[in-house]
A and B are shown apart, each in its own frame.
Chain A
């Protein structure tokens, strides 16, 4: 699987007007952890294992001096998670959800809806974080499928679980 962060706004048109460049944050978060494009990431989605090659345009790390580190991690994780959700199953962003909905994004495909909760970690245990996020998105009451994705940046990995 190929995850091209620079194509994020093409596959998710709803992100086009957003001043926050999630793709850039994805690249920054990966480079901050010492990676260069493309980097191979492991995938574990409900126990099914695979790999993805994540590609991005080179970013100047000097910009990290003026950005909030946690936001770069979270926004970078969102970039990778949204790219994965599209590549894996064709999900497309409809809108961001308020925190009270217990999920970050509402996505759609031709036939249904998905509530997606995303988190990122630089060096923590993504599986432990995934359990927490899975419990969170399970509380989402919308008539939609529920998916939690955690992205780890040090040893790039994408862990995902349906709730």
Chain B
């Protein structure tokens, strides 16, 4: 529904929406709000839409592509982040600087999770979080999302 409504919006309108959404998501993160992952999902949707109407070599297109991946990671949707990264990295015109930024986003996410789930990181079991998160996302939320 939301994705369909976005089709009618211009790049400038989407830039306004993503600006509002980023601020809301970052403030939600700052106060450890349980709605933060939903807020980041919204950012991801806007960034994806901007990416779809801009070229990878444009500054706004490059920002949106890395932004969609970062937002997916922040929303805890790591499989989606990997899918988006694969899609965008396949675009030959994506500048090297944006490719590096995308890699760094994954590195920072891994570092963040290793700090947050240090016991799992020490025993090499962080990948289990992704599996658990993917399974949990296919079912109604009974508990707040932790990862």
Contact = CB atoms under 8 A, between A and B. Distances in A.
A14 B101 contact: no
Contacts of B97: 141-143
Contact of B63 (A13, A16, A18, A97): A97
A118 to B, nearest CB: 13
B15 interface: yes
Most A CB within 10 A of own CB, among B43, B66, B104: B66
Contacts of B27: 71
Q: Is the interface of A mostly helix, strand, loop or mixed?
A: mixed
Nearest to A17: B16
A144 interface: yes
A97 B66 CA distance: 11
Interface residues of B, number: 28
Interface string B24-45: 0011000000000000000100
A95 interface: yes
Interface in B2-28: 12-13, 15-20, 22-23, 26-27
Nearest to B22: A96
B87 interface: no
Interface in B49-65: 59-60, 62-63
Contact of A14 (B16, B43, B105): B16
Contacts of A106: 59-60, 63
A143 B108 CA distance: 22
B59 A17 contact: no
A20 B19 CA distance: 11
Interface of B: 12-13, 15-20, 22-23, 26-27, 43, 59-60, 62-63, 66-67, 70-71, 95, 97, 100-101, 104-105, 108
21 contacts: A13-B12, A14-B12, A14-B15, A14-B16, A14-B19, A17-B17, A20-B23, A93-B19, A95-B15, A95-B19, A96-B19, A96-B22, A98-B22, A98-B26, A98-B71, A100-B66, A100-B105, A141-B97, A141-B100, A142-B62, A142-B97
Top 3 closest A-B pairs, CB basis? A96-B19, A95-B15, A17-B16
